[in-house]
A and B are shown apart, each in its own frame.
Chain A
């Protein structure tokens, strides 16, 4: 049986620093974005196509 080619692989794992920043120290499980923040953001983004017509550069 032919030898398998040796592939050098390294894996890097980290502490979830972003989760601590968003959810506080010791945050566990999954989180969500507060409904009121989401509603405001949706409203803010949806306002744009009414201001600048679709078809402009970058649209």
Chain B
């Protein structure tokens, strides 16, 4: 098992609490994440993502690799930001891994975030191990994206259940419905 080096990673932290924001930054810097950018709420994050696309020099980063966003923020919360990232035509990267951070871990809320295309879910209070697990999940187990009429986001099926029926669909990279995304 190789040791990872995150010095070339750029992470965007979106958090309205100055305390939590500084704590997250501290933790990410300790993990030797190369570039960390912060925004106070979803609206600021959207503006930052647009700036990054139009003027990377001014934004200070060319591409964000992972977004870590709090859910409950005002005026634009984490869910609205996630929706913009996944669905808006101006989004610079609709496939970007999105970690939602929240203190409310009710199943209905997890389902709500999942159905909007969240990649991973991180519950407060969290230990450094939890952050590491989520980052490693994003790096080691990236999921294919699915686009249907009602959904765009990472494949929500994580369980690999055996299918015994007669009409099993076999999906390969060469299948007509599969598109390989470069870059």
List residues of A whose CB falls within 8 A of some B CB: 7-19, 21-24, 27, 29-34, 37-38, 40-46, 48, 52, 56-59
Contact = CB atoms under 8 A, between A and B. Distances in A.
Given A11-B178, A13-B144, A23-B2, A42 B128 contact: yes
B173 interface: yes
Interface of A is mostly: mixed
Given A17-B183, A58-B20, A12 B144 contact: yes
Nearest to B176: A10
A34 B30 CA distance: 12
Contacts of A34: 3-4
Interface string B80-115: 000000000000000101000000000000000000
Contacts of A46: 128
B4 A11 contact: no
A27 to B, nearest CB: 6
Given A8-B149, A19-B139, A30-B1, A38 B180 contact: no
Interface of B: 1-6, 8-9, 15-20, 23, 26-27, 29-32, 65-66, 95, 97, 125, 127-129, 132, 136, 138-140, 142, 144-149, 155, 171, 173, 175, 177-183
B149 to A, nearest CB: 7
A41 to B, nearest CB: 4
Contacts of B148: 7-10
Nearest to B31: A41
A15 B182 CA distance: 7
List the 4 shortest-distance A-B pairs measured between CB atoms, nearest first.
Answer: A58-B17, A41-B30, A12-B145, A22-B4
Contacts of B132: 33, 38, 41
